[in-house]
Amino acid sequence: MARTNILLEFNRLQNEVSELDTPAAQVRKIVDSVSEIIGTDVCTLYLKDQHDDMVLVSSHGLVDTGPVSIPAGRGLVGLVARERHALNVARASAHPNFFYVEGTAEERFESFCGVPLVHYGKVIGVLVVQRTGAVALDSDSEALLITLCSQLAHIVADMPVTLQGAHINTYIGGVRGSSGIGIGQGVLCDHGELFSVADEPCTDVEAAIAEWHALLHKVRAELEHEESLLSAQLPTQASSLFHTYSSLLADHALIQQVESEIRNGNWLPGALRKSIHYFANLFLEMEDPYLRARHEDIHHLGNKLYASLQGKNALAERIASVQQVILIGDQVSISDIAAVPSDKLAGIICFEGSSMSHTAVLANALGVPAVMGIGVLKHLRSRERFIVDGNTGRIVRYPNDRLCSEFQQLINEERLLLDKLSALRDLPAITPDDHEIRLLTNSGLLADLSPGRKHGAQGIGLYRTEIPFLVRDSFPSEQEQVDVYGEVFKAYAGMPVYMRTLDVGGDKQLPYFPITDEENPALGWRGIRFSIDNIQLLMTQVRAMLRAGGTTGDLHVLLPMISAAEELNSFNELLSEALRQLGEEGYPVRRPRVGVMVEVPAAISQLPFWRNRIDFVSIGSNDLTQYLLALDRNNSRVASRYDSLHPAVIHEINRTVVIARDCGLALSLCGEMAADPLAVILLIGMGITTLSMSAVKLPRIKYLIRKLPQQRAAQILKQCLTLDSAQDIRAVLNVELQKLELTELIK
């Protein structure tokens, strides 16, 4: 290009940039124009952040992989910034400082010319141009680029340093699900939202188009099948929905739009997201309110197509090459969690839910950090890096290396604390004034049996039998259940095992027996109610428990959600019948102890009536709090109100302890309160002698108990029973922990 044109070109660029009103559009214009002026395939702008890392702000020609930040001083970009002069090489990958930016498909571009952007003597960024051929930029073009950059520096100097429009180290607040910190790569669960899907390069356009047509065909067939199944009961509105879906699927505009997105280089999920977004917006802009509302149908159809596409891409396949997995989804299901080997699962992020959702409860049991209720994360890149901070209930999106190493430091400190506590493994949980507390563990997956043993659990205080049911695609047979429960008795030989009968319903839906038509699932067909109405399932389960326990296993059968004597009577009859049958069949079995969960508040006043029909009670403080406070444990909107330290909960638990003692009933507590050091002060004060909790929390609670005299706990309880707010109760308990120098326990 003739030198006389340089200034003209620059003035044109400057004018065009000043016409644009967002920094994102301005930098986009700059990289597009520079690429055009110099005649290169790629032009990328990096700006320095406050840590001197080089943040990719905008690029023409590189695949948009999402946030890219090159650590200070690294790579050719770092070299240009450090040495403050242009670097022009024919073959970038052969340079000793080469640093490959993963996923950008940068390897296609051989040559590299980087020029520092200097503003008042300071390097504020680097502009890079690249070409496919291994030929360095000619000296005229290099000079042109240097001249352009000297002017550009002043335009970009005041622009915010953001990663392709998204700020680095973006904190997003949610609700604490399970404590601990995890760093890893995000993997979207099967039922992920289409709008969370990222753009990715399409490697084989024809194959992707064929896949798109196959998908259309498959979803059409699925819709027809669903409609035929439901046609008898369908109200006309729902039936017309099927009709709407089918006609949308047949619409050429949609079919072609997806095809053209694929031809533009996007993979099928990205092409689908863009097209669905486009059509949904068309409807949203319509004046007619009926037509406007149809945008939701399009969105639903998009999710349906995406779910069907995901179906053949099992989670196990997608996590195969990921080292540390952060599972992400609306509500990450128990079967998703089970699909990831425990040493790979670094964290869980749920768009919905709260700390008491069963996902959170299971994450706690497994010691996996989890943050709930953060709202939908859009445009997730594949393998995007996340930090899950379950201690504060936040996640960090686009964390840079520096922040990751700060969080890694916290993970290391946490490990050190656990190491210190592991010395207590074989010591009893005994208060300084000689009150011994039995510490049991909550379990449900075979994978969490050994952590309990490792942390010194004296038995299983709650075995959630629904978990093995939830991770399958059909009801397990009696023998399959005998095998699973047999493992539990084997792992805890000679120790008590409290096995709870199936507690499905509410937020625990069996994939093969969904109960989706309830207005209030938490008040619906749950726990013992479901089991009694499906007596064949209960009979099979009880037979399996008895067979697995045999005459040596210390089986305690625990009944969930009991609220009426009839439920207890039905169960006891069934138990007698199961014992009779198995005896006749020649199995060596014996009558187990039977107890009820106190989690529906109605059970509390009824304990004296049931005393001769049960042997023990176990307080389920998670549901007891939900039902006492009328606060859905799974609803992130009310999560901050859900508090087991609410005075009403403390009073009712205390009342239960007193009634059980008067009735001569053994009592334990197996909700999450048992793992909360603050709550445990009160529980010890009430005189509770058995607590069951997730294995990873057990050492902390033992440490607390060994420092806390029971008499002191009783005094604190007395004081707290006079208070009328959870906040005040928490303040008193915090002061006590400080006095005991135990605040490190409540991270």
Binding mask 608-647 for Mg ion (x = CB under 5 A): ------------x--x------------------------
Secondary structure (3-state) at 176: strand
Q: How far is CA 554 from CA 277, 499, 557, in A?
A: 57, 10, 10
Residue type present at position 677: P
Q: Of 60, 295, 299, 358, which is the active-site residue?
A: 358
Size of the residue set binding Mg ion (CB under 5 A)? 3
CB-wise, 9 or 623, nearer to ligand PEP?
Answer: 623
Secondary structure (3-state) at 77: helix
Locate 377 and state its tokens: 């994360």
Sheet with 111-119: list strands edge to edge: 69-70, 54-60, 42-48, 122-131, 111-119, 87-89
Residues in CB range of 266: below 8 A, 6 or more apart: 199, 200, 201, 202, 274
Give the range of 5-13, 170-178, 260-268, 620-628 binding ligand PEP by CB under 6 A.
620-628
Residues 412 to 471 in contact with ligand PEP, rule: CB under 6 A: 462, 464
Examine residue 676 and tell whether it contacts Mg ion (CB under 5 A).
no
Closest by Cα among 191, 216, 199 to 271? 199
Return the residue matching tokens 């509500």: 331
Residues 477 to 506 in contact with ligand PEP, rule: CB under 6 A: 503
Q: Which residues pair with 89 in a beta bridge?
A: 112
Examine residue 104 and tell whether it contacts ligand PEP (CB under 6 A).
no
Which of ligand PEP, Mg ion, none has residue 399 at its interface (CB below 5 to 8 Å by kind)? none
Torsion over CA: 371, 374, 375, 379 (sign): negative
Rounded distance, CA 227 to CA 120, Å? 69
Q: Which residue is nearest to Mg ion (CB)?
A: 623
Q: Which of 670, 683, 695, 713 binds ligand PEP (CB under 6 A)?
A: 670
What's the maximum distance between 2 C-alpha atoms anywhere in the chain? Answer: 104
Examine residue 361 and tell whether it contacts ligand PEP (CB under 6 A).
yes
Give the range of 162-170, 364-372, 614-622, 676-684 binding ligand PEP by CB under 6 A.
614-622
Give the range of 60-68, 591-599, 690-698, 739-747 binding Mg ion by CB under 5 A.
591-599
CA 99 to chain centre: 32
Secondary structure (3-state) at 405: helix
Please indicate whether residue 43 is annotated as part of the active site. Answer: no
Size of the residue set binding ligand PEP (CB under 6 A)? 11
Q: Supply the minimum distance, in Å, between the C-beta of residue 713 and Mg ion.
A: 25
Return the residue matching tokens 């950059």: 149
Residues in CB range of 469: below 8 A, 6 or more apart: 475, 476, 502, 504, 510
The answer to whether 610 and 565 are in contact (CB under 8 A) is yes
CB-wise, 106 or 672, nearer to Mg ion?
Answer: 672
Q: Supply the minimum distance, in Å, between the C-beta of residue 670 and Mg ion.
A: 9
CB-wise, 257 or 441, nearer to ligand PEP?
Answer: 441
Rounded distance, CA 728 to CA 125, Å? 52
Please indicate whether residue 404 is annotated as part of the active site. Answer: no
CB-wise, 192 or 496, nearer to ligand PEP?
Answer: 496
Q: Supply the minimum distance, in Å, between the C-beta of residue 212 and ligand PEP.
A: 42
Q: Which of 199, 599, 632, 676 binds Mg ion (CB under 5 A)?
A: 599
User: Residue 470 — left, alpha, or beta (φ > 0 → left; ψ -120 to 50 → alpha)?
Assistant: alpha
Give the range of 283-291, 615-623, 650-658, 729-737 binding ligand PEP by CB under 6 A.
615-623
Which of ligand PEP, Mg ion, none has residue 702 at its interface (CB below 5 to 8 Å by kind)? none
Which of Mg ion, ligand PEP, none has residue 352 at its interface (CB below 5 to 8 Å by kind)? none
Examine residue 672 and tell whether it contacts Mg ion (CB under 5 A).
no
Burial class (CB in 10 A: 0-12, 13-18, 19+), 100: exposed
Examine residue 671 and tell whether it contacts ligand PEP (CB under 6 A).
yes
The answer to whether 104 and 68 are in contact (CB under 8 A) is yes
CA 731 to chain centre: 30
Q: Supply the minimum distance, in Å, between the C-beta of residue 622 and ligand PEP.
A: 3
Please give the angle made by the CA atoms of 109, 111 and 114, to the nearest 5 degrees.
110
Q: Which residues pair with 463 in a beta bridge?
A: 443, 499
Which of ligand PEP, Mg ion, none has residue 670 at its interface (CB below 5 to 8 Å by kind)? ligand PEP
The answer to whether 502 and 531 are in contact (CB under 8 A) is yes
Q: Supply the minimum distance, in Å, between the C-beta of residue 308 and ligand PEP.
A: 32
Q: Which of 549, 620, 685, 699 binds ligand PEP (CB under 6 A)?
A: 620
Examine residue 621 and tell whether it contacts ligand PEP (CB under 6 A).
yes
Q: Supply the minimum distance, in Å, between the C-beta of residue 670 and ligand PEP.
A: 5
Examine residue 623 and tell whether it contacts ligand PEP (CB under 6 A).
yes
Binding site for Mg ion (CB under 5 A): 599, 620, 623
Instruction: Please give the positions annotated as active site.
Output: 358, 670
Binding site for ligand PEP (CB under 6 A): 361, 462, 464, 503, 599, 620-623, 670-671
